[in-house]
Structure 1
């Protein structure tokens, strides 16, 4: 019998070698074609839709059972940039095995998850005379790392896609070795804010009469947030938030880790904003929206002193959204508030956006996956109704009305988006077993 693990590790090596950075539009059609070829080789009916810059790859594997259910497996083949290269201990675009780990850009997020799932399907087919108890569709997109641009457009073009359950792209084991299963993501809207107070930088002696773009920008941004209460001051910002139900709260409160662990682990020295608001830090992390300044730049920032009054200042911001919040509506609320506060001259430009989503964690299909995890992994799985991070679950659920659960090959030290991204081979092999177990459960 073919050694499927080695076959798909070879595929993983080929995928890692392709620098499919969606932010740079690099190697996306080439990576989609490699995946399409792999799905075809495995016996799937493959569509590569290249209507937009990042092709969507669809691979369908049909059961011979007339009443078979439908399982969609979603992944993305794009990756984050590998810079800074000097912090990598090896070439990020070469899959490296070292001390029981696989290392390379995208090995956890998300190419290793792709090949583990393909391995699981291949092994299941080998062990069951090529027959499946469930229809399986692989859905591979190429812009997840850039807010899944055009994914909603692609899904609108493919109304034939249907599912009883969607297996999401990735997941981890926690620091205690317990498998983590998730059912949601936050949304996001990112935007640039620019202040302009003149056509040229001025000598700073003129600051007594001439306004500075740096002051203008910082004063405007400061109106968004009340440092005393830890709350966002934009009117209507919280109005559309979908309040978590009791099961969702219970699941989050049961997640491992204390506030002290959180503070120590992230080396936080400032008071927690959730304490200022008088709310539980876990519930805030998973269920509340936020506004964050990602970076600010203005004037002279090199070594030494330059007495200058900046004519322009720039900031990059994001608002993390929860279900119920619309990215464009939220950004308009922010613009309107800045104008109401006397900062209508600030230029606000959207860069990316997508809504948030939470699955019903009591759905029978999700309960089944949780119970299967208990069969395979020691101890109780860590089940979360959502993630503090962002992803395109809402787009997929809006088009394909099915519950979503995430599971994957990662662990706490995977270093996603960072130099030396890695996974452990033991976790990779466990995930293959888990996906096979999920496929086989439809035969019961």
Structure 2
């Protein structure tokens, strides 16, 4: 069979059975009791990669967790693409809220329901099947391909930085593709070009050595809960800006083109408010809602504890109060710099009878932004236009994915987010599902992407060195590449 599309079409029923087998493995990384299942999922992935025709397939270790590597490097002179995904899944609680058992895959109305169906087993299986189709029909791939699938993403990949640093040579690539993602809707594509970073802190307000009787000591002793609430309330001014000195020092101003692309994304404020159950929206003055959650940094109080919170009344002055705080960051903010600025500011406040201590937590990720003219980014755009018949939305996610900046720092490779689930598919919630037509679409999308990367790469880098120099110089000083991209190319 000469055409990879025919190969995919003819074997689609068996591919769905493969997905069912994969989804039956309860690879919950957060639960130590399921670590053998995470290993079993790794073994399943390795076997499936070998069946697809990849070479050098190996299960490696990152701490207690497995990582699966494989490659096909038979395209000399072509770029090397690293495809990333994860096979661990979230816990299933509350299990009683599932219509069917979470690890008994069930198909209803063109959807397959199971934990991990969309995040990320269905999405990460799609590129494996695309590689198989290309290798079985053409005997080769358009570009060199490496794959890295991990088993600890759902617990924030604590061992991945050391693993990538250790295996930097093996993982070396020109660009990366993440199968962990989604599209905008069934008919609209999403090309996510940026994500915010994050830093996390714990703020402790310490008062008396022990809880005190509020009648005997009230009015004479400072209340740590009062003090902490007042301190945190002072972090934002009336316009919604963060008042911490230096907080905005490294924030990269968005270009007019970036703001135009964000403005082109559909936004129904009334529907948005209804969906999250609020009567009005709030945020930094001078920015739209999309800009506030995509291109602006934030300071958020995630929770406050202190004193008595049970039923009835317990009249005390609490001994201490604690708050969990996170800051979402944008280019070019560094998590450690912002966290230190927050710590210094809060600990410098003079509160009578109260001592403020701030602990910087290890949960951090740098912001990520791929140049719009990157070959992989342009290749993904071309494929998405082919598949959806329209230009994708160029989005900036408010969330954080640590591995994207990790690949950029350790491998000097940018990552395109290229998943084909949809945002409504209940990942991390009961009744998670994946639309089977998008499972099929993802397979085609990966085959097309690898070919389009080859075309883009060869257009960018001619075979003769003199042509390469001329091409680089002409692009560097033309309007085709903006200043930021020139710096990246340099």
Fold match by TM threshold 0.5? yes
CA distance in 2, matches of 1:216, 1:20: 44
Contact 2:52/2:129 (CA < 8 Å) preserved in 1?
no
CA distance in 2, matches of 1:198, 1:97: 59
Contact 2:379/2:453 (CA < 8 Å) preserved in 1?
no
Show CA shifts across 1:359-388 (max 9, x none).
Answer: 01122331122112111223332222x311
CA distance in 2, matches of 1:308, 1:199: 13
- 1:221: Cα distance to partner? 2.1
Correspondence 1:301-380 to 2 at 5 A = 301-342=309-350, 345-380=356-391
CA distance in 2, matches of 1:372, 1:418: 31
Secondary structure of 1:118's aligned partner: helix
Among 85, 98, 102, the alignment partner of 2:95 is 85
Among 12, 17, 20, the alignment partner of 2:19 is 12
Contact 1:172/1:407 (CA < 8 Å) preserved in 2?
yes
Gaps of 5+ in 2: 1-6, 456-490
Alignment match, 2:261: 251
Call closer, same or farther: CA 1:93–1:314 in 2, change over 3 Å. Answer: farther
CA distance in 2, matches of 1:24, 1:236: 40
Call closer, same or farther: CA 1:47–1:70 in 2, change over 3 Å. Answer: same
Correspondence 1:82-231 to 2 at 5 A = 82-128=92-138, 130-160=139-169, 161-175=171-185, 177-205=187-215, 206-226=217-237, 228-231=238-241
Call closer, same or farther: CA 1:34–1:220 in 2, change over 3 Å. Answer: farther
TM-score (normalizing by structure 1): 0.90
Contact 1:23/1:145 (CA < 8 Å) preserved in 2?
yes
Contact 1:234/1:333 (CA < 8 Å) preserved in 2?
yes
Aligned CA-pair RMSD: 2.4
Show CA shifts across 1:136-171 (max 9, x none).
Answer: 111112333333323222121122223333212333
Contact 1:171/1:407 (CA < 8 Å) preserved in 2?
yes
Alignment match, 2:286: 278
Show CA shifts across 1:13-72 (max 9, x none).
Answer: 344334434444542434333322322333321233314233332211222x32122111
Q: 101-110 or 354-363, which moves further after superposition?
A: 101-110
TM-score (normalizing by structure 2): 0.82
Higher helix content, 1 or 2: 2
- 1:334: Cα distance to partner? 0.8
CA distance in 2, matches of 1:81, 1:314: 27
- 1:81: Cα distance to partner? 2.7
Contact 1:60/1:136 (CA < 8 Å) preserved in 2?
yes
Show CA shifts across 1:172-210 (max 9, x none).
Answer: 333462121212221111232233323433333233223
Secondary structure of 1:156's aligned partner: helix
Call closer, same or farther: CA 1:16–1:302 in 2, change over 3 Å. Answer: farther
Larger Rg: 2
Secondary structure of 1:353's aligned partner: coil
Gaps of 5+ in 1: none
**Matching of residue 241 in structure 1 with residue 251 in structure 2:** yes
Call closer, same or farther: CA 1:127–1:281 in 2, change over 3 Å. Answer: same
Using CA pairs under 8 Å that are at least 6 residues apart, name the structure with larger relative contact order, 1 or 2: 1
Call closer, same or farther: CA 1:239–1:167 in 2, change over 3 Å. Answer: same
CA distance in 2, matches of 1:246, 1:399: 31
- 1:301: Cα distance to partner? 2.3
**Matching of residue 46 in structure 1 with residue 57 in structure 2:** yes
CA distance in 2, matches of 1:107, 1:288: 32
Show CA shifts across 1:238-279 (max 9, x none).
Answer: 1112223343333222222244443344333244213xx222
- 1:335: Cα distance to partner? 0.8
Among 400, 404, 414, the alignment partner of 2:425 is 414
- 1:442: Cα distance to partner? 5.3
CA distance in 2, matches of 1:166, 1:141: 15
Show CA shifts across 1:381-415 (max 9, x none).
Answer: 2222x311110211111122233221212113112
Call closer, same or farther: CA 1:361–1:436 in 2, change over 3 Å. Answer: same
